[in-house]
Structures are given as structure tokens and as C-alpha cells.
Amino acid sequence: MKHLHVSSKLGAAAVLGLAALTLPCFAGTGESPIKTHWENVCAISDGKQLIVTTETGEVVEGYCISVDVNKIAIRTLDHRFVQVSRSALMKLEMQRPKAHQLASLGRGVKKGLHRGVQDLFSPMAIGGMVLIPATLAWGAVSTPFCILGDLFATEERRREIKVTALDPPVSNHVAYSH
């Protein structure tokens, strides 16, 4: 009976350890806002769709074209150009595509293996001998969980962008142009 009790504790510990190793496959649901300066908003969005909400509740969806001191220029999904005044901005979010956890895991395994091979041919050879099998084991254990994460990731995620050191802007309007 005592043997059964010990093995159930080991099993529980193994499940918890496995969950901790694969947690990055399911990460990202409670992300904190990105904090950046106003002039870096386009660089932060890096071609991802922005959702701009104004004080009046108007929502503009599109891609950042440029930012100047008083406004942000957005190319909307229907290819119009919209300028939103900085003072009219209530909320700024970045649309993130569905999770691609398996691809992310593949990149992590590739980096780990690359580093392990580099270490093999250096004074850190012992580290490479440990890193290569550990990376392969991590990839093998995490793969099914990442596949499940990808299969059940049904919605795109939004991440808020918080502008730091917001200086008072000059005007308060939204301008459309064709």
C-alpha cells in the first residue's frame, strides 16, 4: 500500500512537471498591455492589424501607416486612409493572429539544437551533450500539447497598446480621406 502511495505522488509530480514544461504552448491569454511611446506605435504593430477606439466610441480597424505628434494614420481594411487625433484616442489594440504554437515550438527546438551543436565544438562540449537530448525531449513532450493548443485556438487575440508619456495633443477629431 505504501508503494502505491509513493507512485501516485510521483505520477502527480510528473503530470505537474509536464504541465509546467508545456505551459508556453497555452500562454498568451492574459497578456499585459504593451507599453510604448507614441512615436513607436507603428513599429510595435509591425504590420499587424490595429483596432483604434475613439472617445465617441467609433472603431477604426486597419494598419498603421504613420504617427506624428498629433495623430495616427491608419489604412483601413477597405483601403481608405483615416487619421485619428491623438486626443480622440481612447483605446488602441493590436490584433494578433491565431496561435501557431507548434511552429513556435519548432523554432525553439531549432534554436536549442543549434546552440547544442555549437557547444559541442567548443570548450562547452559537456553543455552541448546535455542540451541536445534535453531539447529533443522538450520538443517530443510538448508537441502533442502544442498541437492541441493550435487545434482549439479558435479566435484571434487582441493585445492593448498603452502609450506612455502622453503629452497633450492639439486637436480632437477623426478625418477620413479616400
Q: What pLDDT, on the 0 to 100 scale, is given for residue 130?
A: 95
The rounded distance, in Å, linking the Cα atoms of 121 and 166 is 51
Q: What pLDDT, on the 0 to 100 scale, is given for residue 83?
A: 93
Does the pLDDT of residue 142 top 90, yes or no?
Answer: yes
For 99, which DSSP code?
A: P
- Please report, to the nearest 10 degrees, the dihedral formed by the alpha carbons of residues 61, 63, 68, 71 taken in order: -10
pLDDT confidence bin for 144, thresholds 50/70/90: very high
Per the prediction, the chain carries an average pLDDT of: 80
Does the pLDDT of residue 12 top 70, yes or no?
Answer: no
Asked if residues 160 and 92 have their Cβ atoms less than 8 Å apart, the reply is: yes
The rounded distance, in Å, linking the Cα atoms of 96 and 40 is 18
Q: What pLDDT, on the 0 to 100 scale, is given for residue 95?
A: 84
pLDDT confidence bin for 14, thresholds 50/70/90: low
pTM for this prediction = 0.50
Asked if residues 78 and 161 have their Cβ atoms less than 8 Å apart, the reply is: no
